[in-house]
Amino acid sequence: MKTATKCLIFFSTFCFSVITMGRDGLSLYTSSSGSAAIKNMNGSHSILIFAGGNKPGQATSGGCVVSASLWAVKGGFEGRLIPVSTEFNSYDEDQAQGKKISIEERVGSIIVNDVDFVGICSLDSDLINVYEKINVDDKKYKYVFSEMIDVAHSDALVLFRRGRVVDAIEKLSSFANGYDVAWLADKDLAGVVISAINDYAYFLQKNNEVMASVEYLKKILNAEPGRAVAWLNLADSNWMIGKKDEAIKQYVEYKDIVLAKDERSKIPSRVIKRISKYSGN
């Protein structure tokens, strides 16, 4: 009986863990006027909406980004806007205060029924729309992903520069955990995705999540071995965890790439000192 009880407890715990992990993730949507991403991390939902064209780089004059924290209600979500800083538009805590969003959830789509964007977006911004969910195997998925990670990346960079490292990580975490490694070598996506993932890895490093940063940086360099900043970040991460022999090799790779571009002045002094001290170069 005790064995059966233990097995039941284990099975229940295992199932709960699987269900919990299954609730985490990223869902992408597209409409006639833009794109949306709903993030679900540990049961906490948020949405990022970009209105102004659903092809990367094809924003209209009414381009606008809004973000909101969400809570589930019958038939969908309600939410409140949270600050955003992007190349298209920005708004702060005071401007977001009291502004709401209402979303109806259907099978295969969401309907943004109401967004209080007055004072945040231009009046011709069309955020209220039906957004169809895009399956991961749909050819459009990677392009909408590229567009949305680009928007999230610009927002995360502003937060990082303000010293809000954890918040910057949160902005990109669902995207960093939901991209296909093959996209790092996709000529249509690589520039946007690599830049965002590289910075995400750097944010992790600065938040003392060094081992995680190493794994992301290795994937980037496997796809783009000539990316100098990724070699520098990887070397710094390995240095931080005591893998100094590996770090020195990576500092040398970084230095060689920078010197080949005749940009010696960009090399941080710590790189020269560490290479000189530990390798005799």
Whether 39 maps to a domain, the answer reads: yes
Q: Got the DSSP string for the chain?
A: -HHHHHHHHHHHHHHHHHHHHHH-EEEEEE-SSEEEEEEEETTEEEEEEEES-SSTT---TT-EEEEEEEEEETTEEEEEEE-EE-SS-EE-HHHHTT-EEEEEEETTEEEEEEE--BTTB-TT----SEEEE--TTSTTHHHHHHHHHHHHHHHHHHHHHTT-HHHHHHHHHHHHTS--GGGGG-TTTHHHHHHHHHHHHHHHHHTT-HHHHHHHHHHHHHH-TT-HHHHHHHHHHHHHTT-HHHHHHHHHHHHHHHHHTT-GGGS-HHHHHHHHHHH--
Amino acid (1-letter code) at residue 216: Y
Q: Are residues 180 and 190 in contact, defined by beta-carbon separation less than 8 angstroms? A: no
Which tens digit of pLDDT belongs to each residue from 118-154?
989 887 788 999 999 999 999 999 999 999 999 999 9
Q: Are residues 240 and 205 in contact, defined by beta-carbon separation less than 8 angstroms? A: yes
The CB density around residue 59, as the number of other CB atoms within 10 Å, is 20
Q: Are residues 160 and 203 in contact, defined by beta-carbon separation less than 8 angstroms? A: yes
Count: domains in the chain: 2
**Same domain? 51 vs 121:** yes
Whether 17 maps to a domain, the answer reads: no
Q: Per-residue confidence of the chain (281 residues) as pLDDT tens digits?
A: 444 434 433 333 333 333 233 335 899 999 998 999 999 988 889 999 999 744 444 444 458 999 999 999 999 999 999 999 998 999 999 999 999 999 999 999 999 999 999 989 887 788 999 999 999 999 999 999 999 999 999 999 999 999 999 999 999 999 999 999 999 999 999 999 999 999 999 999 999 999 999 999 999 999 999 999 999 999 999 999 999 999 999 999 999 999 999 999 999 999 999 999 886 65
Domain range for residue 238?
142-279
Whether 4 maps to a domain, the answer reads: no
**Same domain? 191 vs 74:** no
**Same domain? 257 vs 190:** yes
Whether 3 maps to a domain, the answer reads: no
78 token code pair: 């309600």
**Same domain? 39 vs 123:** yes
**Same domain? 173 vs 95:** no
Last residue of a domain, one of 75, 108, 133: 133
